[in-house]
Amino acid sequence: MITLDDVRRNENFRLMIHKANAYLAARGYTEHGPRHVNYVAKTTAYILETLGFDERLVNLGAIAGYLHDIGNMHNRKFHGPTGANIVFCELRLLGVPLEEIVEITTAIANHEEEIGLPITPITAALILADKSDAHRTRARRRKPNPDIHDRVNLAITDSALTVDPEERIITLDITFDTTQCQVMDFFEIYLSRMEMSKQAAEMLNCRFRLVINGLEMLGKIHPAEHRAKAAGA
The whole-number pLDDT of residue 78 equals 95
Residue 225 has pLDDT above 80, yes or no: no
**86-97, pLDDT tens digit by residue?**
999 999 999 999
Please report which residue ranges of the chain form alpha helices under DSSP H: 4-9, 11-27, 34-50, 55-67, 79-93, 98-109, 121-131, 148-155, 183-203, 223-232
Cα gap 133→210, rounded to integer Å: 13
- Identify the residue with better confidence: 25 or 45: 45
End-to-end CA distance of the chain: 47
The whole-number pLDDT of residue 61 equals 98
Mean pLDDT of 130-140: 87
**159-214, pLDDT tens digit by residue?**
999 999 999 999 999 999 999 889 999 999 899 999 999 999 999 999 999 999 99
Going by DSSP bridges, is the β-strand pair 207-212/169-176 parallel, antiparallel, or unpaired?
A: parallel
Please, are residues 62 and 6 in contact by the beta-carbon 8 Å criterion? Answer: no
The topology (CATH level 3) of 4-232 is: Hypothetical protein af1432 (1.10.3210)
